[in-house]
């Protein structure tokens, strides 16, 4: 993968930040899975979330099989960032951005996976657990679903999730192997 070419393409996209780093510096923790189970309404409701994505150890092994990581950050302006009815619709633009970057990375045959925001919202009702995912090529598992400690990433790269009362911050990861 030609990184210089990729960076030229990234600079054309509405990203506020992107960072390349080695996947083996990602921190995985079963504690994240505990939060999914206790605090997320999407737990056990989507192919993009636990338990459908597998055990944290399996997720970690799968992620680490792609040695290179690219963090993508975008922001959207909303009336009130604390109002979920206003912020959630803006994640679709970030999902589209993540798919665009995935396509760019894969363009020369580079193997890559994407991890993105929240749970999958492509179908009105997820097929989990009755049937297989209807759009596996479009579905991006949630970053946290893998057990990745997002707070560590945010601290390391200075991502401000509370930048302003009218700004919502979205982030995703593309993991790839040349």
In the complex, the residues that contact ligand SF4 under the rule CB under 6 A are 46-48, 120, 122-123, 126-128, 133-135, 139
Sequence-distant (≥ 6) Cβ neighbours of residue 1 within 8 angstroms: 105, 108, 110, 176, 178
- Identify which of residues 60 and 95 has a Cβ nearer to ligand SF4 in the complex: 95
DSSP structural state of residue 146: G
- Identify which of residues 71 and 139 has a Cβ nearer to ligand SF4 in the complex: 139
Let me know: does 50 contact 167? Beta carbons within 8 Å. Answer: no
Q: Give the shortest CB-24-to-ligand SF4 separation in angstroms.
A: 28
Question: Tokens representing 87?
Answer: 């912020």
List phi, psi (to 5°) of 119: -105, 170
Q: Give the shortest CB-87-to-ligand SF4 separation in angstroms.
A: 19
Q: Give the shortest CB-132-to-ligand SF4 separation in angstroms.
A: 8
3-state secondary structure 71-91: EEEEEEECCCCCCHHHHHHHH
Question: Tokens representing 109?
Answer: 């045959």
Q: Give the shortest CB-178-to-ligand SF4 separation in angstroms.
A: 28
Q: Give the shortest CB-133-to-ligand SF4 separation in angstroms.
A: 3
Let me know: does 114 contact 97? Beta carbons within 8 Å. Answer: no
Spatial distance between the Cα atoms of 94 and 155, rounded to a whole number of angstroms: 21
- Identify which of residues 68 and 172 has a Cβ nearer to ligand SF4 in the complex: 172
- Identify which of residues 42 and 68 has a Cβ nearer to ligand SF4 in the complex: 42
- Identify which of residues 12 and 124 has a Cβ nearer to ligand SF4 in the complex: 124
């Amino acid at each position: 993968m030609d990184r210089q070419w990729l960076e030229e393409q990234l600079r054309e996209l509405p990203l506020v930040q992107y960072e390349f780093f080695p996947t083996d510096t990602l921190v995985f923790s079963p504690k994240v899975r505990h939060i999914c189970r206790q605090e997320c309404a999407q737990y056990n409701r989507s192919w993009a979330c636990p338990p459908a994505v597998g055990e944290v150890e399996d997720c970690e092994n799968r992620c680490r099989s792609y040695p290179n990581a690219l963090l993508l950050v975008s922001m959207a302006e909303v009336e009130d960032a604390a109002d979920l009815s206003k912020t959630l619709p803006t994640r679709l633009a970030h999902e589209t951005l993540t798919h665009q970057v995935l396509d760019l990375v894969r363009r020369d045959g580079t193997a890559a996976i994407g991890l993105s925001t929240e749970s999958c919202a492509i179908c009105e009702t997820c097929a989990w657990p009755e049937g297989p995912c209807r759009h596996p090529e479009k579905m991006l598992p949630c970053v946290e679903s893998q057990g990745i400690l997002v707070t560590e990433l945010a601290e390391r790269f200075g991502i401000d999730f509370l930048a302003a009362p009218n700004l919502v911050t979205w982030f995703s990861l593309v993991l790839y192997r040349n």
